[in-house]
Structure 1
Amino acid sequence: MIRKRNSENRGLPDRWRYTHKAYYYQVPPGREAQWDGRKTFRLGKTLPEAYKTWAARLDNQIGVRTIGDLLDRYALEVVPTKAVSTHEQQAIWIRQLRKVFGCMALTSMKPVLVYRYVDQRSKKKTEIITDEKTGKERKKITGGPTTALREKELLSHAFTKAVAWGYIDQHPFKGELELEGAGHRDRYIEDWEVVEVLAMASRRKKGSVLAIQAYIRIKLMTGMARSDLLRLEQGKHIKDDGIHVQRHKTAESSGKRTVYKWTPELRAAYQMALFVRPALSSFLFCNRFGEGYINEEDGKASGWDSMWQRFMARVLAETKVSESFTEHDLRAKCASDAKTLEHARALLAHADARTTEAIYRRRPEEVTPLKGIA
Structure 2
Amino acid sequence: MATIIKTPSKTWKAVIRKRGWPTASKSFRTKRDAEDWARRAEDEMVRGVYIDRSRSERMTFGDALDRYLSEVLPTKKPSTQRSERPRAEPLREFFGPYSLAAIGPDLVARYRDERLTTPSQRVHRVAGTSTPLSPNTVRLELALLSHLFNTAIREWRLGLLHNPVSSIRKPSPGEGRNRRLRPNEENRLRAALAASSNPMLLWIFEVALATAMRSGELTSLRLHQVDLNRRVVRLSVTKNSNARTVPLNQHVTGVFREALANPVRPDDCDLVFFGEPGRDGVRKPYAFTKAWNEIKLKLGSADLHFHDLRHEAVSRLVEAGFSDQEVSSISGHKSMQMLKRYTHLRAEDLVDRLDGLQQQSSRQ
Structure 2 counterparts to residues 230-249 of structure 1, below 5 A: 230-238=219-227, 240-249=229-238
* Deviations, residues 55-101 of structure 1 (Å, cap 9, x unaligned): xxxxxxxx544451432332222211233355465344434323433
1:144-180 Cα offsets, whole Å, 9 max, x none, are: 3455433222111212223322443432331541423
What do residues 119-162 of structure 1 show as CA deviations (whole Å, max 9, x unaligned)?
122333699xxxxxxxxxxxxx9983455433222111212223
Aligned to 2:18: none
Conserved? CA contact 1:67–1:103, under 8 Å: yes
| 2:163 counterpart letter in structure 1 | H
Cα deviation digits, residues 341-364 of structure 1 (max 9, x gap): 322322221223322223x33334
- Counterpart of 2:76 in structure 1 is 82
CA spacing shift, 1:260–1:296, aligned 2, 3 Å: farther
Identity %: 21
State the match for 1:343 in structure 2: 326
Report deviation, 1:332: 0.8
Q: Does 1:361 align with 2:347?
A: no
> How far apart are residue 262 of structure 1 and its match?
4.4
How far apart are the structure 2 equivalents of 1:249 and 1:337? Answer: 22
* Alignment match of 1:279 (pick from 250, 264, 288): 264
Where do residues 190-339 of structure 1 align in structure 2 (5 Å cutoff)?
Answer: 190=182, 192-200=184-192, 202-203=194-195, 207-208=197-198, 210-238=199-227, 240-250=229-239, 255-274=241-260, 277=262, 279-281=264-266, 282-287=270-275, 302=287, 304-316=288-300, 324-339=303-318
In structure 1, the partner of 2:163 is 171
Out of 134, 150, 154, the residue aligned to residue 160 of structure 1 is 150
Aligned with 2:94 (options 92, 100, 119): 100
- Structure 1 counterpart of 2:139, one-letter code: L
CA RMSD of aligned residues (A): 3.9
- After TM superposition, the score normalised by the length of structure 1 is 0.61
Cα distance change of structure 1 residues 95 and 226 upon mapping to structure 2, 3 Å threshold:
closer
In structure 1, C-alpha distance between the alignment counterparts of 2:249 and 2:214, rounded to whole Å: 19
Distance 1:70 1:164, change over 3 A: same
Q: How does 1:41-190 map to 2 (within 5 A)?
A: 64-65=56-57, 66=59, 68=61, 69-87=63-81, 90-124=84-118, 144-145=133-134, 147-165=137-155, 166-167=157-158, 168-174=160-166, 176-181=168-173, 184-190=176-182
CA contact (8 A) 1:336 1:344 kept: no
Cα offset, 1:305, TM superposition: 1.6
Q: Distance in 1 between matches of 2:317 and 2:306?
A: 17
Aligned match of 1:133: none
> What is the number of residues matched between the two proteins?
278
Q: Secondary structure at the match of 2:166?
A: coil
Letter of the 1:311 counterpart: I
Deviation of 1:116 (Å) = 1.1
More helix by share: 2
Distance 1:116 1:64 in 2: 21
Compute the TM-score of the two structures, normalised by the length of structure 2: 0.62
Which structure: larger Rg?
A: 2
CA distance in structure 2 between the aligned counterparts of 1:80 and 1:162, rounded to whole angstroms = 16
- Could you tell me whether the CA contact under 8 Å between 1:67 and 1:98 is conserved in 2? no
State the match for 2:35 in structure 1: none
- Call closer, same or farther: CA 1:197–1:91 in 2, change over 3 Å: closer
Aligned partners of 1:120, 1:332: CA distance in 2, in Å? 31
Q: Which amino acid aligns with 2:203?
A: A
